[in-house]
């Protein structure tokens, strides 16, 4: 691409960033990087009624957790600062007025009652589109129906007004979307949207187009839910005389519920008990105003790289069998023209699979660090320090889906089992098993060598061989005594980690309680 690619992620801080928003950010990031372009974060907070405290910080934290770095943002600044629309309020008005001066937009003075009456009339007439448009605009109180003097007087005396775009009655608006292909809408399906509100602030449409233009955005990559707005945006570029600078649009397929039926929503997260936000979020229910904490992918034990890999595939595929892609590999392989039109099912089982694969291939040291951080986050109590935690992580990494599984499924590393698995007890805890544990207890207490997996292996296996015991009897009994379970990672590794004193104590305990 010869052009200097500039893309933006432009969320509105109206709540927690949805995982679909993260996918949008990811696709923008990948596209920018592979074209040696610039990835920008712009906060679209013109709608103060929908502003939610903490939502902006949440966006920053989420992108940081995923490592989706932006070159220009409210935090970093940049050549087109500010990047928060609420701080750019002075920017937009002149464009709205320019359109009025050129006859492409108009002042509308209608009161709420007048607008309500219009709606009621349209409803009664069963007009399927309830709007302020080419037909209805001539019945309303605006600068198209009032005399010039009247308009002037009203403005001078301070009457409230909005500026509406005058949708030209041309046939259709067409553009070529990079993903959806040629798309078109008839101008009559658009309404005369408000561009500037009574308080002088822009609406989303005006601010979005003006900022994309001023920030020299070359590609608008966003969710398909914005496609209906795109027709108006394309028209605004034309009306503002910016047609040649219009970015290319790429509307991404929607994310569907795991069932494939309908758009993925916050409610699915609650109903299915699955995360749909990247980080935990104190969510206030719109209807009941009750607050509940919703776990995020991070709190559920997902690695950010695994989530990104999972998200990359929701709408895109490389056309090969390869599924595991590091972020650098995604930068190489991702191709906007391979993004599909059809909506993508949010398959949570697949997300888990990706996480498993990533945990398995994470190096032990890093996993140890992550485990330590997780322990701290959970307030989990243990004296174990990093070297031991690293050993535990290394032993467990083949068997976990989430990092937290180490603390659940591998709880025995940290504390003696309180109960013994019933099935294993019945099957494995017989005279032979018991007497083996008794004897090995003596062997291990007498042992003064290094307390280390290989040496212990030699000692224990040596004992089994020498006494011609059955491996399949002895080892499960020993495992049951030490972990309370019938299966798990390398037993010698477990014995090494829990240490001599604890091992002896656990062996004694099973002999007294069962």
Which residues form the interface with ligand GLU (CB under 6 A)? Answer: 10-12, 44, 208, 220, 222, 226
Which residue lies nearer to ligand GLU by CB, 178 or 455?
178
Instruction: Give 401's DSSP letter.
Output: S
Q: Which of 445, 477, 483 is nearest to 464 (CA)?
A: 477
Distance of CA 79 to the CA centre of its chain: 28
Q: Are 386 and 369 in contact (CB under 8 A)?
A: yes
Q: Which of 257, 261, 290 is nearest to 276 (CA)?
A: 257
Which residue lies nearer to ligand GLU by CB, 207 or 485?
207
Active-site annotation holds for 104: no
Which residue lies nearer to ligand GLU by CB, 236 or 389?
236
Which residue lies nearer to ligand GLU by CB, 18 or 506?
18
Which residue lies nearer to ligand GLU by CB, 279 or 440?
279
DSSP string covering 261-287: SSB--HHHHHHHT---SSS-EEEEPTT
| Cα radius of gyration (the chain) | 32
Q: Are 487 and 410 in contact (CB under 8 A)?
A: no
Q: Which of 316, 310, 324, 83 is nearest to 221 (CA)?
A: 316
Instruction: Give 171's DSSP letter.
Output: S
Question: CA-CA-CA-CA torsion for 386, 387, 393, 395, nearest 10 degrees?
Answer: -160
Which residue lies nearer to ligand GLU by CB, 19 or 306?
19
Which residue lies nearer to ligand GLU by CB, 28 or 35?
28
Which one of the listed residues 119, 197, 257, 266 is annotated catalytic? Answer: 266
Q: How far is the CB of 69 from ligand GLU (least distance, A)?
A: 19
Q: List 249's β-bridge partners, or say none.
A: 220
Q: How far is the CB of 426 from ligand GLU (least distance, A)?
A: 57
Q: How far is the CB of 37 from ligand GLU (least distance, A)?
A: 16
Instruction: Give 445's DSSP letter.
Output: H
Q: How far is the CB of 308 from ligand GLU (least distance, A)?
A: 19
Residues of 82-110 as b/e, b for ≥16 C-beta within 10 angstroms? ebbbbebeebbbebbeebbeeebbbbbbb
Q: How far is the CB of 194 from ligand GLU (least distance, A)?
A: 16
Q: List 248's β-bridge partners, or say none.
A: 219
Other beta carbons within 10 Å of 7:
26
SS3 for 80-147, per residue?
CCCCEHHHHHHHHHHHHHHHHHCCCEEEECCCHHHHHHHHHHHHHCCCCCCCCCCCHHHHCCECCCCC
| Pairing, β 181-186 against β 248-252 | unpaired
Q: How far is the CB of 10 from ligand GLU (least distance, A)?
A: 4
Output the CA–CA distances (angstroms, integers) from residue 398 to 258, 388, 393, 407, 425, in the order listed.
Answer: 26, 17, 9, 14, 25
Other beta carbons within 10 Å of 426:
9
Q: How far is the CB of 208 from ligand GLU (least distance, A)?
A: 5
Q: How far is the CB of 303 from ligand GLU (least distance, A)?
A: 26
Q: Which of 501, 497, 200, 258 is nearest to 368 (CA)?
A: 497
Which residue lies nearer to ligand GLU by CB, 226 or 242?
226
Which residue lies nearer to ligand GLU by CB, 343 or 409?
343
Q: How far is the CB of 267 from ligand GLU (least distance, A)?
A: 19
Residues acting as catalytic residues: 266
């Amino acid at each position: 691409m010869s052009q200097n690619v500039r893309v933006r992620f432009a969320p509105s801080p109206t709540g927690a960033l949805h995982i679909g928003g993260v996918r949008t950010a990811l696709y923008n990031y990948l596209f920018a990087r592979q074209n040696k372009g610039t990835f920008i974060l712009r906060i679209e907070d013109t709608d103060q009624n929908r502003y939610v405290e903490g939502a902006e910080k949440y966006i920053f934290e989420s992108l940081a957790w995923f490592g989706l770095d932006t070159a220009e943002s409210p935090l970093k600044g940049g050549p087109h600062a500010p990047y928060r629309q609420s701080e750019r309020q002075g920017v937009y008005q002149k464009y709205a007025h320019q359109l009025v001066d050129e006859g492409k937009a108009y002042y509308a003075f209608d009161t709420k009652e007048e607008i309500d009456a219009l709606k009621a009339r349209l409803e009664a007439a069963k007009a399927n589109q309830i709007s302020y448009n080419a037909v209805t605009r001539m019945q309303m109180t605006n600068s198209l129906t009032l005399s010039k003097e009247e308009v002037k007087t009203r403005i001078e005396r301070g009457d409230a007004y909005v500026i509406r775009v005058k949708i030209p009655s041309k046939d259709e608006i067409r553009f070529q979307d990079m993903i959806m292909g040629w798309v078109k809408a008839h101008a009559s399906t658009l309404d005369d949207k408000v561009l500037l509100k009574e308080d002088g602030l822009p609406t989303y449409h005006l601010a979005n187009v003006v900022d994309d233009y001023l920030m020299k955005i070359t590609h608008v990559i966003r969710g398909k839910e914005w496609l209906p707005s795109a027709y108006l945006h394309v028209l605004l570029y034309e009306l503002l005389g910016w047609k040649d600078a219009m970015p290319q649009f790429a509307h991404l397929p929607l994310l569907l519920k795991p069932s494939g039926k309908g758009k993925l929503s916050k409610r699915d997260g609650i109903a299915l008990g699955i995360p749909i936000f990247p980080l935990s979020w104190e969510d206030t229910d719109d209807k009941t105003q009750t607050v509940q904490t919703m776990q995020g992918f991070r709190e559920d034990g997902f690695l950010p790289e695994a989530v990104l890999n999972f998200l990359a595939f929701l709408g895109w595929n490389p056309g090969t069998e390869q599924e595991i892609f590091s972020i650098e590999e995604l930068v190489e392989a991702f191709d906007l023209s391979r993004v599909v039109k059809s909506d993508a099912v949010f398959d949570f089982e697949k997300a888990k699979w990706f996480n498993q694969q990533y945990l398995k291939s994470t190096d032990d040291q890093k996993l140890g660090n992550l485990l330590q951080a997780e322990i701290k986050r959970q307030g989990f109590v243990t004296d174990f320090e990093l070297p031991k935690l690293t050993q535990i992580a290394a032993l467990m990494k083949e068997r976990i889906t989430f990092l937290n599984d180490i603390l659940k499924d591998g709880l025995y590393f940290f504390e003696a089992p309180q109960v013994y698995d019933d099935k294993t007890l019945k099957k494995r805890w017989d005279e032979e098993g018991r007497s083996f544990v008794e004897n090995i207890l003596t062997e291990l207490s007498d042992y003064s060598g290094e307390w280390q997996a290989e040496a212990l292996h030699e000692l224990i296996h040596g004992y089994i061989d020498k006494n011609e015991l059955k491996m399949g009897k002895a080892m499960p009994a020993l495992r049951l005594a030490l972990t309370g379970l019938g299966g798990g990672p390398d037993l010698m590794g477990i014995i090494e980690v829990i240490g001599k004193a604890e091992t002896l104590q656990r062996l004694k305990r099973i002999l007294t309680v069962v």
